[in-house]
Amino acid sequence: MNNFVAEADKKRRELAEKLTLEVLTSMLEENVCYFDAHYIHSRTQEIIEKTIAKLKFKSEAIREARKAFLDVLVDGATKELYGWQDDYKLAKANLKDKSKKKEAIEVLKKIDRLRGKLPEDKTEERDIACEPVCQSLAAKILSKDTILSDQDFLNGAIDEDNKTLLDVLSRLLFDQILDQMVTSLDSSYKRANAKVWGCERNEVRMKQIDDRLKE
């Protein structure tokens, strides 16, 4: 999962860099003002938000496609409920990591006790007694007969999720582009300013300012 997130972040950064360059090029071609970047930000955000707001998410085709996907997903969930076996598998993998080995050994010992119904204390007695109840409840909630039974609620959830997903995906990319755009503009402005004054801004002397004002 961590590798997926890292790879996704890398690809999104690369895409943001490409789009930022295109935006800056467009700003140069239109010869907009330096501070118009703030207006471009707010106006673009408004366009995106209002476009998403007016989209018709209540499409039956979209609903049916999402229901088919959920049907497969829920079916898989009921067959792959998380349990002690997953904790055991993770602990076995952590044995290879020196920083996690001690804790992993303790987890393995605990799960062996739980599986064998040999509790070490009251907490483990509770865990053993409650686990079948928890597994049963989770299975009931994640079953098709339960989670997919209310069609009105399901349709509403799908419609809202489509909107939220599109909003989240666009916002993440938009925020990255804005950050890169502002950083690039600030850097360019500082370099241009340094050429005008012959030095960095923090090195400009009062005499230089006075001389410019007298020109």
pTM: 0.55
Is 50 inside a domain boundary?
yes
Could you give the CA distance from residue 185 to residue 25 in angstroms, rounded to a whole number? 11
Is 105 inside a domain boundary?
no
Taking only Cα atoms into account, the Rg of the chain, rounded to an integer number of angstroms, comes to 29
| Residue 46: other Cβ atoms inside 10 A | 10
Contact 119, 130 (CB under 8 A): no
Residues 6+ apart with CB under 8 A from 176: 12, 13, 16
Residues 6+ apart with CB under 8 A from 101: 94, 95
**Per-residue model confidence (pLDDT) at position 4:** 57
Is 168 inside a domain boundary?
yes
Is 80 inside a domain boundary?
no
Domain boundaries, position 160: 2-58+155-214
Is 96 inside a domain boundary?
no
CA 75 to chain centre: 26
Amino acid at residue number 31: N
Could you give the CA distance from residue 152 to residue 203 in angstroms, rounded to a whole number? 67
Is 64 inside a domain boundary?
no
What contacts 24+ positions apart, CB below 8 Å, involve 29-38? 34/185, 34/189, 37/181, 37/182, 37/185
What is each CA distance from 129 to 114, 121, 132, 177, in whole angstroms?
A: 10, 13, 7, 52
Contact 158, 62 (CB under 8 A): yes
Please report which confidence band the pLDDT of residue 90 belongs to, taking 50, 70 and 90 as the band edges. very high
Residues 6+ apart with CB under 8 A from 121: none
Percent of the chain topping pLDDT 70: 94
Is 116 inside a domain boundary?
no
DSSP structure class, residue 96: T
Is 36 inside a domain boundary?
yes
Contact 57, 159 (CB under 8 A): yes
Please report which confidence band the pLDDT of residue 162 belongs to, taking 50, 70 and 90 as the band edges. confident
Q: Catalogue the E-assigned strands of 15-171.
A: none
Q: Which helix (H) or strand (E) holds 63?
A: helix 60-79
Question: What mean pLDDT is reported for the chain?
Answer: 84
Say how many domains are in the chain.
1
Q: Which tens digit of pLDDT belongs to each residue from 13-60?
A: 888 888 889 988 998 899 988 888 888 888 888 888 888 777 766 677
Residue with structure tokens 């399901």?
154
**Per-residue model confidence (pLDDT) at position 166:** 79
